[in-house]
Chains A and B, each alone.
Chain A
Amino acid sequence: DAGITQSPRYKITETGRQVTLMCHQTWSHSYMFWYRQDLGHGLRLIYYSAAADITDKGEVPDGYVVSRSKTENFPLTLESATRSQTSVYFCASSGFSGLTGEQYFGPGTRLTVT
């Protein structure tokens, strides 16, 4: 579990501000993911990345931007935060392919947009 970290753990920002959430993993996993968790919706995929410089949209990508210049880092940016983006954000990584592919989750970032 210590192999994947997120920062900050808590963030309060104002509507319209740009916010970047950081995710770092030390396992050299190929795949990385960003989820948001809201009551009643479980975990919804925002963006994912299969490798450095390869990213793709998930279920709820609007309002978010990602990049992955290095295998170990996968930052998530809210370009102009809105109240609807208040949520808990989890980063995850996976190093397997084929029939398994356990995802390891970071500790989460609780974001409040006022």
Chain B
Amino acid sequence: GENVEQHPSTLSVQEGDSAVIKCTYSDSASNYFPWYKQELGKRPQLIIDIRSNVGEKKDQRIAVTLNKTAKHFSLHITETQPEDSAVYFCAARGPNYGQNFVFGPGTRLSVLP
């Protein structure tokens, strides 16, 4: 089945700097890659996603890139702010898994003022 790895597990950046989180997946048939943000004590919420037929997607300060050949995708956050501090989860979904996602273990991002 699908396996998703995520790095780094923790990341500290200064406010205003950029943050990059990388995920790799194992099933080349996976076709949908969402990123969820989870603030402390809250539910995970979708922040951006990308389909396998797209290489990059941007939404204001966040962007996701996908490299299908290497089977990895990355989350980029620019001009980080304290409210970006949270745990970020990547996920992958393959055509044989119905609506099921396989999540990475998460990255705890701390934005230092």
A interface residues, Cβ below 8 angstroms from B: 1, 31, 33, 40-45, 48, 50, 58, 90, 94, 96-97, 99-103, 105-108
A33, A41, A106, A107: the one contacting B100 at CB < 8 Å is A33
With A94-B99, A105-B43 given, is the CB distance from A40 to B31 under 8 Å? no
Question: A41 touching B43 by the CB < 8 A rule?
Answer: no
Chain A contact residues: helix, strand, loop or mixed: loop
Contacts of B44 in A (CB 8 A): 43, 90, 105
Question: A31 touching B98 by the CB < 8 A rule?
Answer: yes
Of B11-19, B57-65, B70-78, B103-111, the stretch lying at the interface with chain A is B103-111
**Total number of residue pairs linking A and B with CB closer than 8 Å:** 58
B6, B34, B43, B49: the one contacting A90 at CB < 8 Å is B43
Sorted nearest first, the 3 A-B pairs with minimum C-beta distance are A105-B43, A42-B105, A43-B103
Cα distance, A31 to B97, chains bound together (Å) = 12
Cα distance, A45 to B99, chains bound together (Å) = 12
Contacts of B46 in A (CB 8 A): 102-103
Question: B105 touching A40 by the CB < 8 A rule?
Answer: yes
Question: B89 touching A102 by the CB < 8 A rule?
Answer: no
**Please, which residue of chain B has its CB at the minimum distance from the CB of A97?**
B99
Since A101-B93, A106-B43 are in contact, a sample of 17 more A-B pairs with Cβ atoms closer than 8 Å, ordered by chain A residue number, is: A1-B43, A31-B98, A33-B99, A33-B100, A42-B106, A44-B103, A45-B100, A45-B101, A48-B99, A50-B98, A90-B44, A94-B99, A99-B52, A101-B32, A103-B34, A105-B45, A107-B42
